[in-house]
Each structure stands twice: as structure tokens, then as C-alpha cells.
Structure 1
Amino acid sequence: MREDLESMRRGSRRWKEARVASVERMWGPRSVVVEDGPARGMRQIELRHLGGLAVDLEVDQFLDLGDASFRGVPLSFVAPTTSPRAESWSRRWRGGLMTTCGLAAVGRAEQHIGGMHGRAHLIPASVTRSEGRWDGDDYVVEVRGLMREGALFDQNVSVARTIRASVGASALQITDEVRNEGFERTPLRLLYHFNVGWPWLEEGAVVETEAQEPGQDEGSGNWERTVEAPKAGEPETVDALIAVPDADGWASARIQGSNRSITVRFRPEQLPYLTVWRSKAAGSYVVGLEPGTCWPGHVDGPDFGKAGVVLAPGESRTVNLEFEVQAD
């Protein structure tokens, strides 16, 4: 007996399966290897059809979020990279939608603790899961990876990362489980460096957040919110803010354009600080939204804001983030 197609509920799993012969090929994650250019040989996992959102996961760079677009329009900042293994941060950083900074250093730092923004972005992931599956009527894509920063007679910190998205929803959820697998107390400095570039970043866009400057009332302060046009030789600016939770315990930072927005959500109980980084320099035009356990080491602010946290032997901490794109 044949199934009655007319009785299927629109949008249900069976309704979709009647129209797509191979859901894993259409919607599932796809593993690729870059064959040319500075990133030659690097592993990536492509996520597509997420409500118009497309993201490359950088497997060899801490399973970070690389190039991203929405409805074919680039979202992320693309840096002029010499090589992902170049000697300095400015020559090896490839940009991308999100870069993990840490785990021992954030901002300018001595080489023995990782140098500028630490070693995390140099650490390859071991992919433990990369799959698409049905969750009721929704098709969910999930990628998991395990990263470790460690050295003989030194720290041993692991990060188990899960990136989850639903097909048709222009959003990602990121969950990190950070664990001190060593036997001594270990400092943890962790910052999530979200990077928005042109053409999504536009003159007149506004950075919106309830985060506040130290010593200021909520929503007050003199930090710059409006995005200006690029200028040759313009220096970068950085604002150090304290995150303010809403009634549900979440904080957010948003870049709001004329008819579109990018929002990063996080929990201040996990990431108490927000850094807003702006480069108006021509050729390096980018705004960064950066929740973290601390501010970058070169940012002015109270000393306690730079310290991060300390993990006891065997201690674990969970970090939850959400990223969403909206457009008319």
C-alpha cells in the first residue's frame, strides 16, 4: 500500500523526505581539504543551507568558524594572510567568523605563554562527530571536536567543542567543555573573537549591547557605537565592557545595519567581559565582538578583569554561545 502524500503535514519529516531523496547529501556536513593558497592542506567542514547561513569550520584551527556568508553575502572578515603557520599573529591570522583566543593568553603576551592571543588558533581538532540527523521534524547538523593545549611538565587543558545548527534556521549554537586534566591549578584566559567584515559591515551600522563600561551605569559611557567608513592609516580602537545579563541570564552584542543584524549571545556567569574591537583602517575594515573570561592583556581596565579564571585540578567549566543572523 502506498503512503498517502496528500495527508502529510507540510514541513514534517515525511513531507521533506518526499521531496529530498538524500537528506545527508543535501543538508549534512561535508568534509573537505583546501588544495591551494596559504591554507593548502587544511581540513574544513562545510555547513550549508542553514536558513541562508553558510559556514566553514576550520578543523585545523581549534574547530573555529572560518569564512561565512548569508544568502551569498560574505559576513566574516578576511585577513591578508601570509601563512597559517607564520611567525606572528598579524601574518598568520586568517580572520573568519570566530577565532578562539587563549587558553593561557589573550591579547599581547609573552611568547612563553603563547604570544599574541595565545596558542588556541594553532591547535588542530580531533573530530569526534560530524553528522546530520533528524530531531523530530527538524534536521540537525552537529560537529564535535576535541582540542588540547598541553606540554610536558606544564598545563594540560582540554576543550570538547560542540557546534550545532538546524537546517532552515540562520543560527549556530556553540558549547565548550573546558577541563584542567593536569594536577596543578591552571590559569584560563579565554576569549571568543567574532569578526564581521564588509559588505555585511557597513557605514552607519550600530553596535548594540547592554554591556557597560567599568564604573558606568547600564547603557551609558562614551564608547563609540556607530561604524564609520574606512580611512587610510586609521588606528584600531578597543573598548572593555562588563556584560549585563537579561532576565534569562543571557547577554548579547549586536551589529545592527539598515535592514540586517548579526547577534552574539553568551552567559555573563561564564564570560563576564565583552571587548568591542574596531579597525577603521582601509584594507583592514572590521568590527570584533569578543566575549571572554577576561579582557585582552593590552586593554586598559581594572587588573581583576585581566586575570581570567583559575581551574583547579580536574575542574571543568562549560561555555555556551549563540550566533544568529537576521535580514529583511
Structure 2
Amino acid sequence: MNIFGSEVSVAALRERTGDLASVAGVREVVLGNGVERGVRAVQLRSAAGLEVEVLVDRALDLGGARFRGVPFGWRSGNGFRHPGLHEHSDEGGLSWLRALDGLLVSGGLDHTLFGNEVDATQYRYPPKRTVAHGLHGRLTAIPGRLLEAGEVWDGDRCTLRVRGEVVQATSFGEHLRLTRTIEVDFDGLEIRLYDVVDNVGYERTPHMFLYHLNFGWPVIDAGTELVAPIAETTWQSDSAAVQGVSYRVLPDPQPGFVEQVYEHRLVADEDGRHRVALIRGDSTFGVEVSWDAATMPSFFEWQNLRSGQYAVGLEPSTHHVTGDAAAREDGSMTWLEHGESRSYRTTIRVLDGVEATTAARDAVRRVAGQPEGSNL
């Protein structure tokens, strides 16, 4: 394994420390103050300097993320809010924004995108003819059940692994289960996310899923570029046309900036994966996200460049930005019968140095070019 820049065998490493946790490892903690009080988390730390928090009580999402002490996961100021404080229907369905914090905030399991009221007659419960959804659904505020947290050895290779499940259920309604596995190699620079969503219930149930992957300063800064194999931009928020800020190259923080959202149609690589990167203007640092194009064919870019916020979200999604009602109408909604499931594989990789960012950029460019500006 590569330990602190040198190739070291496991035997040699064990000779030099009484506890491998001095180099890398897994640690369970409980947050203890403010709105975070009582939230269980698992910290993964690799020998390469990659650190990430798995928030067990926030649907096993990802909290703080750092590389050699430098943050790349966004912190909004909300904190990793205890799910007991969440009120799903508050603020006209926008209360999800109070839970928006950290590297990954997942949307789902039966609804994503903006809130609305949709038909629920498939559940055959006369008092509930419809169901009301808030922004990005209920998943974020559901505590997970931790199934595994530790080191997994295969010969001389070690993987840091967290596995758990989150159940979204109600009587006379949906009964969906998310089984999530998060892995980091002992000496690794990437976070691997494996999700399986299955219908535990016996009624035909809608399924929508979205990853709100949030990146902040210093990977987000003036000159940072979104590198993506974009065939076309199919939708943009009204604010994009009014403010005139590039989708591709970022400015400094902007006072009063109104969020800009784009839906880009991406070209998959030869392995059937979508691949995008955020690279600093000096090319010294970046992050790359890749995922299976078939399971999450849609992709949104979220720009929150307001002073005091300043983040970019990369959002693989199962459905288009038009959302729940439109997916039901045009037939694109995913319906799961009892026992049916969907699987998702996503990788978040740190790009350390000019060589790594150049290789990532070249890999994207081999798939497809990229327009200078939105074509809308």
C-alpha cells in the first residue's frame, strides 16, 4: 500500500505500529452539541489523507469531507441537523433546505425535485386519495440502521466500509428500503457509494432518486471550471438568463446571487458511465464524480454562488427536472412492484495536483466536447 508517499507492505506496517488506526481507519462517534446533538456518525480516514463522515442518522448521507485537512465538501451553516427537528411539510414544503449541509444530501425515495400533490390511489386507502411531497422528499430526515462499520481485509488489501439501511414507510403507503454501502480504500483517494433501493411493501410504488453532491471552497473559487461531456443543455432556471453567470467557469462570491440550475444532457463513456469534474483555475486540485448513466440518466448543475453560501452541486438523478407529476404523465416514472429493486454506483474522487486534473480533463474530452455557454 502507498503510505505517506512510500510503498509499504502490510507486514512492514504492522511492525511499525501497534494500531493501524494510527494510519487509517474507521471510527464511530456521536455529535453532541447544538442542532447536531445525538446524531450518530462514522468517520472514514485513509492513509492518503482522505477523510469523510457518514451521517448514520441522516439517511447515511455524507457530511464533512477533507483531503489532507483541506475541505472539499460544502458546509452551508445549517449543521448536520438532528432528524427529530425536521418538519417535512413546513415552509410550504421547503423545510428540506434546513437540512441541506454536507458533501451528499440524498433525495427520494418516492419523490425528488420540487414539492407537489400527486395521486395515491394505488395504495387503496380511501382517506388518502393524494399524497403531498416537499422538496426532494422525505429520505433526508430518516435515521439509518447501521449494519457494518470497520476494516475489511482481502489479502494485503484493506477497505474501510460502512453499510446500513434506511426504511421509508407508512401504513397504507410506500414501504421502500435503501441499503447503502460506502467504501474508501485504506490508502485511497476515492469514495465509492453503492445503493440498492427495493420495495418491501406489496403495493406498486413510485421511485425517484437524486444525489445532491455539494462542493465548497477552496475547490469552488473564482476560475473553477465544470468539465463535463455535455451534448446539450436542455433546461435552465430563469435566473441563469437574467444574471449572465457562466455555467462553466465560476466567479467570486456574489452578494444576493439567485441560485442557478441547469439540466445538461451528458454523453456516457465506453463503460456506460457519466463523468464530470470540478477543477480549480490553477489546475492544482479538483474532484471528479462518475456514475452509471443507465440508472441516473439525468444531471443537474446547481450554482449557489451567493456570498456566505458559495457552493456548486453536481446532481445525478433518475428523472428530469420537470419532476414527479410530469414523470407520471409522460410515462417515465419508475414504478417498483413488491420485491423489485434498483441499484446505483457512484464514485467521488479527489484530483490531487496538475497531473491528476489534466488526466481527468483529458478523459472527459475523449468522451465529448463541451459548449462554452448554455445553448438556451
Residue 154 of structure 2 is matched in structure 1 by: 135
Q: Distance in 2 between matches of 1:243 and 1:211?
A: 5
In structure 2, do the counterparts of structure 1 residues 102 and 232 end up closer, same or farther at CA, with 3 Å as the change threshold? same
Q: Give the aligned partner of residue 318 of structure 1.
A: 343
Distance in 2 (CA, whole Å) between partners of 1:90 and 1:125 is 17
Counterpart contact for 1:295–1:306, Cα < 8 Å:
no
Q: 1:254 to 1:43 in 2, by over 3 A?
A: same
Query: Secondary structure of the residue that 1:118 maps to in structure 2?
Result: coil
Hey, what does 1:66 align to over in structure 2? 63
Listed one character per residue, the Cα deviations across residues 9-68 of structure 1 (whole Å, up to 9, x for unaligned) are 952221221122112564221110111121011101011125211111100011011011
Alignment-mate amino acid for residue 20 of structure 1: T
Q: In 2 relative to 1, CA 113–170 (structure 1 residues): closer, same or farther, beyond 3 Å?
A: farther
Q: In 2, distance between residues paired with 1:313 and 1:186? A: 8
For residue 157 of structure 1, report the CA deviation from its aligned partner: 0.6
| 1:199-227 CA-partner distances (Å, limit 9, x unpaired) | 221110100111333669xxxxx972111
Residue in 1 that maps onto 2:356: none
Q: Residue type matched to 2:348 in 1?
A: F
Quote the residue 1:6 is aligned against: none
AA partner of residue 248 (structure 1): D
Distance in 2 between residues matched to 1:17 and 1:110, nearest whole Å: 56
User: What is the distance in 2 between the residues matched to 1:232 and 1:173?
Assistant: 35
* Paired letter, 1:227: L
Distance (Å, rounded) in 2 between the aligned partners of 1:193 and 1:72 = 23
Q: Which deviates more, 140-149 or 205-214? A: 205-214
Deviation readout 1:225-271 (Å, 9 max, x if unpaired): 11111111111100012232101111111101121111110011111
The reply to whether residue 31 of structure 1 matches residue 36 of structure 2 is no
Distance 1:117 1:297 in 2: 13
CA distance in 2, matches of 1:188, 1:12: 45
In the aligned structure 2, how far is the partner of 1:31 from the partner of 1:208?
Answer: 35
User: Which residue does the alignment assign to 1:247?
Assistant: 270
Find the aligned partners of 1:306 and 1:267 in 2 and give their Cα distance: 21
Residues 247 and 60 (structure 1 numbering): CA distance in 2 closer, same or farther, change over 3 Å? same
Aligned match of 2:44: 47
Shift of 1:315: 0.6
Work out whether residues 112 and 210 of structure 2, in 8 Å CA contact, stay in contact via their aligned partners in 1. yes
In 2, Cα distance between equivalents of 1:227 and 1:12: 43
For residues 50 and 215 of structure 1, what CA distance do their matches in structure 2 show? Answer: 41
- Helix, strand or coil at the partner of 2:12: helix
Aligned CA distance change for structure 1 residues 29 and 305 (closer, same or farther; 3 Å)? farther
Q: Tell me which protein shows more helix as a share of its residues.
A: 2
> Is 1:295 aligned to residue 320 of structure 2?
yes
TM-score by length of 1: 0.88
Question: One-letter code of the match for 1:314?
Answer: G
The answer to whether the 8 Å contact 2:219/2:279 transfers is no
Amino acid at match of 1:243: L
Separation in 1 of the partners of 2:159 and 2:143? 24
Give the structure 1 partner of residue 360 of structure 2: none
Query: Is 2:14 the partner of 1:17?
Result: yes
Q: Deviations over 1:273-319 (max 9, x none)?
A: 110000111111110000010134479x9998995422122111110
Cα distance in 2 for residues equivalent to 1:122 and 1:211: 33
Q: Distance in 1 between matches of 2:162 and 2:297?
A: 26
> Quick check: 1:57–1:66 contact (8 Å CA) kept in 2?
yes
Per-residue Cα deviation, 1:146-204 (whole angstroms, up to 9, x for no partner): 11111101011101111111012110111011101122221111001100011221110
- Choose which of 108, 112, 129 in structure 2 pairs with 1:106: 112
Q: Residue 261 of structure 1: which of 286, 308, 317 is its match?
A: 286
**Structure 1 pair 237–307 and aligned structure 2 pair: CA distance change class (3 A):** farther
Report the 3-state secondary structure (helix = DSSP H, G, I; strand = E; otherwise coil) of the residue aligned with 2:286: strand
In 1, the alpha carbon distance for the partners of 2:217 and 2:24 equals 27
Distance of aligned partners of 1:215 and 1:93 in 2 relative to their CA distance in 1, 3 Å threshold: closer
CA contact (8 A) 1:52 1:70 kept: yes
Gapped regions of structure 1 (runs ≥ 5): 1-8, 217-221
CA contact (8 A) 1:53 1:69 kept: yes
**Alpha carbons 1:32, 1:43 under 8 Å: kept:** yes
Counterpart for residue 126 of structure 1:
145
Distance in 1 (alpha carbons) for counterparts of 2:140 and 2:268: 28
Which deviates more from structure 2 when the two are superposed, residues 41-50 or residues 301-310?
301-310
Provide the C-alpha distance between the structure 2 equivalents of 1:72 and 1:316, rounded to a whole number of angstroms.
Answer: 38
- The 8 Å contact of residues 189 and 307 in structure 1, kept in 2 or not, is answered as no
* CA–CA distance in structure 1, aligned partners of residues 288 and 331 of structure 2: 25
Q: Residue 56 in 1 paired to residue 79 in 2?
A: no
Q: What do you get for the CA RMSD once the two structures are aligned?
A: 2.5
Distance 2:96 2:307 in 1: 16
Task: Give the whole-Å Cα distance in 1 for the aligned partners of 2:270 and 2:249.
Answer: 27
**Aligned partner (choices 144, 157, 168) of residue 149 of structure 1:** 168
Render the CA deviation track for 1:118-151: whole Å, top value 9, x for unaligned. Answer: 1111111101111113222222111100111111
Match among 297, 305, 314 for residue 272 of structure 1: 297
Q: Is the 8 A contact 1:149 1:156 kept in 2?
A: yes
SS at match of 2:11: helix
**Structure 1: how far apart are the matches of 2:258 and 2:167?**
35
CA distance in 2, matches of 1:297, 1:69: 34
